[in-house]
A and B are shown apart, each in its own frame.
Chain A
Amino acid sequence: MTKRMFALLSVLVIASMALAACGTGGPAAGSESTLKIVSSLPMTGASLTQTQTIVNAMQLRVDQAGGKACGGKYTVTYEPWDDASAALGKWDPAVETENANKAAADPTIVAYLGTFNSGAAKLSIPILNQAGPLAMISPANTYPGLTHFVEGQTEANEPDVYYPSGARNYARVAATDDLKGKVIANFLVSQNIQTLYILDDQEVYGKGVADSVNAASTAAGITVVAQEGYDPKAADYKALMTKISTSNAGGPPDAVFLGAIVDNNSAQVLKDKVAIMGDNETVRFVGPDGLYTAALIEGAGDAAEGAFATTPGLARKDLGEAGTKFYADYAAKFGDTNEPYAILGYDAMSAALKAIEDVCAAGGDPTDRAAVNDAVFAIKDFEGALGTWSFDENGDITLPFYLVGQVQGGEYVAFGTYTP
C-alpha cells in the first residue's frame, strides 16, 4: 500500500469514528430513552440454584413496573449477566472484571446489580466507581470491608481502597458478616453450645464469616477450640474430622461451624463430620448463608438432617404484607422457592427503580449515572418486601434480620429469627 492511500484510509477511518461518536453523544431522542439495569451473578456452577432465583425476582420486579420508569418516559430493560466460567465452575475474576468494564462502557446502563461473591465486588467496585460513578447494589455480598472498616476483620485500607474517585457507589441489601458473627453467636448461646470448632474454606467470604463467628463466640463466652482452613478440593476430610473428634479435651466439640460456600465441597465436609462424629444432634453443624441452599442437602443426603444455617432476612412467617405478596407473585410466575436470596434480589431491583423514579421526581435526568447513584444513597424508610428499611451512609441496609433454618425432612425450614 502506498503512503498516500494509507493517509486517505486513515482520514476515512477517523472521520467515520467521529461520525459514530456524534450518533451516540447527541441529545437523548425519543428512541434512545432506554435505561438499562444489569446484574452480574455466577450462573454457571453450584451457585446457579441461588442466583437463578435472584434473576427471576429481579425480572419479576421490572415486569411489575411494566418495563417503564418516570411515568412511561423511559423504557427499563434488565439483562442478567454471568460472572462465572465453566473452567472454574464458580465466579471468575476475569469474567467479573470484563463485566464491569462492559457496563462502564455502555452509557445506557444506570445500575449494576451485583455481585454475588464478595471477592468479585472487590474487583468491580473500583472500575464502576470511576465510571460515573455507576451505582452498584448487591443482593448478596456480606464481607464488611466493602463498605466499612471492622477492627480485626477487614484490611486497614478498606473500604477506601475500593473508591478511587472518593465518592461512594456501592450499596447492599444483605446484612454484613460482622453482624452475622454476633447473630450466630447469639444463636449458639441459645442452643447451649459451650465449645465450638471452626472451619473455613480459605476464601474472602468463608474465612471472613468464620473469623467474625470466632470473635463473637469468644466474646459471648463460648470456647473456640480452634479455627482451621480446609482444602476445598480434597477428596475427603476423614482425617481432619478424626482430629476434631478428640480436639476438645479428648472428645468432640459441642458444635462445628463451617464458614464456606456450597461450591467448596461443603457437602463432603458435612458428610465426613457425620460419619466420624455422629449426627447433627450429637455434634451440631452450623453454617452461614452460603450453605442455606438445597444444593447442600442434595450433596450430603441424610447427613444434612438437623444441620443449621443462617441467612439474611426474616422467617417467611414473620414477613409483612409486601413480603408475603412477593412470594405469592414469585410462585405464580416461577413456582414456589425457599432460596433466601430471591427476596433480596427483589429489593435490590426495587431500590434501583426507586432511585430512578426519585431522580425524575426531583426534575433530574435518570440517564445521569451520578444522579442515580446519589438517589440510591438517599433511600430512606423504603417500604420494600423485606420491611421498611434505609441505606446508611456506607450503603449498608438498616434491617439486619437473620433467619436460622434447620434441615428437616430434606429441606430447610425456619427455625427462628435472630438479631445481632
Chain B
Amino acid sequence: MNSSLFRRFVRPIIAIAVIYLVLLIGPVASLDFPVIVSSIKANPPQLVQFLIIGLANGAIVAIIALGYTMVYGIIELINFAHGDVYMIGVFTALTTLSLTGTLTSQDPAYIAFGIFIALVVAIAVCAGLNAAIEKLAYRRLRNAPRLAPLISAIGMSFIVENIGLIWAGQSWLVPSFGTTGGGAQKEFPDLLSRMFRNMDLDPNLLASSGLGLRFTIKDLLVIVLAAVLMIGLRFFIQKTRLGKAMRATAQNRDAAKMMGIDIDLVITATFLIGGGLAGAAGLMAGLYNNNAWWFMGFRAGLQSFTAAVLGGIGNITGAMLGGFLIGLLAAFSDGYLNARWTNAWVFATLVLILLFRPTGLLGEQVGQKA
C-alpha cells in the first residue's frame, strides 16, 4: 500500500476505531473513567506511590532492554536468551551473597561490602555468559539467513533457563533454596532494609512525611543505579573509541571493516556490556523484589524487548524511556484498573503507540541497507 495514503486515511480510521472500542469495552475491562477519577480523588498521595513503584520496576526493565537494543542495533538479532542471562544474574548475586556470608550478616558495613562484591561478580559472570552465548550460538550463523540465529537464540534461552532450574535446587550453595527442588521461587533476602534497620534508620525514606507514602532505600537504589548505568553507557557509546567503533559497525558493518575496525571484537564487546548490564539488573531485581526464580527471565525478557521496540530499537535512550513507560503503565493499571487486565492494557497501549510511531518513540537506530 502507498504509505502516504496509509498515513492520511487508514491510520486515523484505525485510531478512531480503537478509541471507540476503548470507550465501549473499557468499563468491561475495568477502564471506567468516573471510578478511576473518584479513586484518585479519594487518595491523591497514592498516585505518587504508583509512580514510585512504576519507576522502580521500569528501571529494571529498562536496564535489561539496553542489552536487547544494543545487540539488535549491531547485528540485528533478537537475543532471546538475554532475559535468561538476567535470571542467571539474580542467581549469581544470590549465590555470591550466600558464599560471602552476607545473607546471614547483621553488620551494615559488611552487607554493603557483600552487595558490592555480588554486583561485581554478577556483572562479570553475566558478561562472560552473554559473550560465550554469542561465540557458541550466533557467531557461526552471522551470515546465515536471519531465521537461523533466531532459532539458536530460542534454543540458548531454553538451555540457560534449565541451568537456572538446576541451580535453584543446589541448597549446598544457598541453604535457603531448601529441599523442594529448583522449580519454585526462592527467597532473596531483603538485605537493604536489614542494613538500614541495623543502622537505626527507617528503610522507608518518606516515613516522616506523614503522607503514608513508601519510598524505600530499595526504590532509591534501583532508580539511581539505572540512571547512572544509562548515563555511563551513553557516555561510553558517544565518547570512547570502542563506542565509536560500535556505532560505526551498527551503521554499516562492511564499511566499518574497511576502516580497520575489528568487527568480532566490537560484537564481543557489545555482548559483554549487554550481559554485564543484565547482571547488574539481576542484582537490583533481587534486592528490590526479593525473589529468585528460574522462569523470571522469560517475562522480563518479553517486557524489555517490548520496551526496546517501543523506544525505537537500537536507540539507548529510547530503551530506557520504553522501560519506564511499561513499568508505569503496569503500576497504574494494577493500581486503578483490575489487575486481571494489566497485560491487556499494557500491550494495547503499545500497539496504539506503534501505530502512530512505527519506528518507536525516539526512532530506530539500525544499520542502513546498501
B50 within 8 A of A: yes
Option from B180, B332, B336 in Cβ contact (under 8 Å) with A298: B180
Option from A86, A238, A294 in Cβ contact (under 8 Å) with B178: A294
B46 touches A262 (CB 8 A): no
**Bitwise interface map of B from 152 to 196 toward A, beta carbon under 8 Å scored 1, else 0:** 000000100110010000000000111111011111010000000
Min distance, Cβ A94 to any Cβ of chain B, angstroms: 16
Min distance, Cβ B106 to any Cβ of chain A, angstroms: 14
Q: Most chain-B CB neighbours within 10 Å: which of A48, A238, A271?
A: A238
B331 within 8 A of A: yes
Q: Which parts of B286-309 form the interface with A (CB within 8 Å)?
A: 288-291, 293-296, 298-300
5 interchain pairs (CB within 8 A)? A47-B183, A230-B340, A236-B288, A298-B180, A301-B176
A298 with B178, Cβ < 8 A, contacts A228-B340, A263-B184, A271-B291 known: yes
B330 within 8 A of A: yes
A243 with B334, Cβ < 8 A, contacts A268-B289, A271-B291 known: yes
Complex Cα distance, B181 from A234, in Å, reads 22
B43 touches A246 (CB 8 A): yes
Q: Most chain-A CB neighbours within 10 Å: which of B57, B158, B189?
A: B57
**Chain A residue with minimal CB distance to B292?**
A299
A242 touches B183 (CB 8 A): no
Interface on B for A, CB 8 Å cutoff?
Answer: 42-43, 46, 49-50, 53-54, 57, 60, 158, 161-162, 165, 176-181, 183-187, 189, 214, 285, 288-291, 293-296, 298-300, 330-332, 334-336, 338-340, 342-343
B179 touches A294 (CB 8 A): yes
B184 touches A235 (CB 8 A): no
A299 touches B335 (CB 8 A): no
Chain A residues near B184 (CB, 8 Å)? 46, 49, 262-263, 267, 295-296, 298-299
Option from A48, A87, A242, A301 in Cβ contact (under 8 Å) with B49: A242
Chain B residues near A276 (CB, 8 Å)? 214
A233 within 8 A of B: yes
Min distance, Cβ A82 to any Cβ of chain B, angstroms: 12
Option from A45, A87, A229, A239 in Cβ contact (under 8 Å) with B54: A239
Chain A residues near B334 (CB, 8 Å)? 237, 239-240, 243
**Chain B residue with minimal CB distance to A233?**
B299
Q: Which parts of A204-235 form the interface with B (CB within 8 Å)?
A: 228-231, 233-235
Chain B residues near A243 (CB, 8 Å)? 46, 334-336
A234 with B43, Cβ < 8 A, contacts A271-B291, A299-B184 known: no
Min distance, Cβ A247 to any Cβ of chain B, angstroms: 9
Chain A residues near B49 (CB, 8 Å)? 242
B291 touches A86 (CB 8 A): no
A294 with B180, Cβ < 8 A, contacts A86-B162, A268-B289 known: yes
A87 touches B158 (CB 8 A): yes
Complex Cα distance, B176 from A295, in Å, reads 11
Complex Cα distance, B364 from A174, in Å, reads 56
B291 touches A263 (CB 8 A): no
**Chain B residue with minimal CB distance to A230?**
B339
Complex Cα distance, B185 from A237, in Å, reads 15
B50 touches A242 (CB 8 A): yes
Chain A residues near B342 (CB, 8 Å)? 231, 234
Further pairs besides A46-B185, A235-B60, A294-B180: 11, Cβ < 8 Å: A229-B339, A230-B339, A242-B50, A243-B46, A250-B42, A263-B183, A265-B293, A267-B187, A268-B185, A295-B180, A301-B187
B291 touches A268 (CB 8 A): yes
A44 within 8 A of B: yes
Closest 10 CB pairs of A and B: A229-B340, A295-B184, A301-B187, A299-B185, A46-B183, A46-B184, A239-B334, A298-B178, A49-B180, A239-B331
A86 with B50, Cβ < 8 A, contacts A230-B339, A235-B299 known: no
Q: Which parts of A259-302 form the interface with B (CB within 8 Å)?
A: 262-263, 265, 267-268, 271, 276, 293-301
A299 touches B183 (CB 8 A): no
A242 with B53, Cβ < 8 A, contacts A298-B178, A301-B189 known: yes
A320 within 8 A of B: no
B46 touches A246 (CB 8 A): yes
Chain A residues near B189 (CB, 8 Å)? 301
**Bitwise interface map of A from 37 to 64 toward B, beta carbon under 8 Å scored 1, else 0:** 0000000111111000000000000000
Option from A49, A199, A202, A299 in Cβ contact (under 8 Å) with B291: A299
A235 with B300, Cβ < 8 A, contacts A89-B183, A300-B187 known: yes
A298 touches B339 (CB 8 A): no
Complex Cα distance, B335 from A243, in Å, reads 5
Complex Cα distance, B293 from A228, in Å, reads 24
Min distance, Cβ A410 to any Cβ of chain B, angstroms: 9
Complex Cα distance, B285 from A33, in Å, reads 58
Complex Cα distance, B63 from A235, in Å, reads 14
Min distance, Cβ B350 to any Cβ of chain A, angstroms: 16
**Chain A residue with minimal CB distance to B346?**
A231
**Chain B residue with minimal CB distance to A84?**
B183
B214 touches A233 (CB 8 A): no
Complex Cα distance, B290 from A268, in Å, reads 8
Complex Cα distance, B298 from A240, in Å, reads 21
Option from A202, A230, A295, A301 in Cβ contact (under 8 Å) with B183: A295
Complex Cα distance, B332 from A3, in Å, reads 72
Complex Cα distance, B285 from A199, in Å, reads 24
Q: Most chain-A CB neighbours within 10 Å: which of B60, B161, B331, B334?
A: B334
A265 touches B185 (CB 8 A): yes
Option from B60, B185, B339 in Cβ contact (under 8 Å) with A231: B339
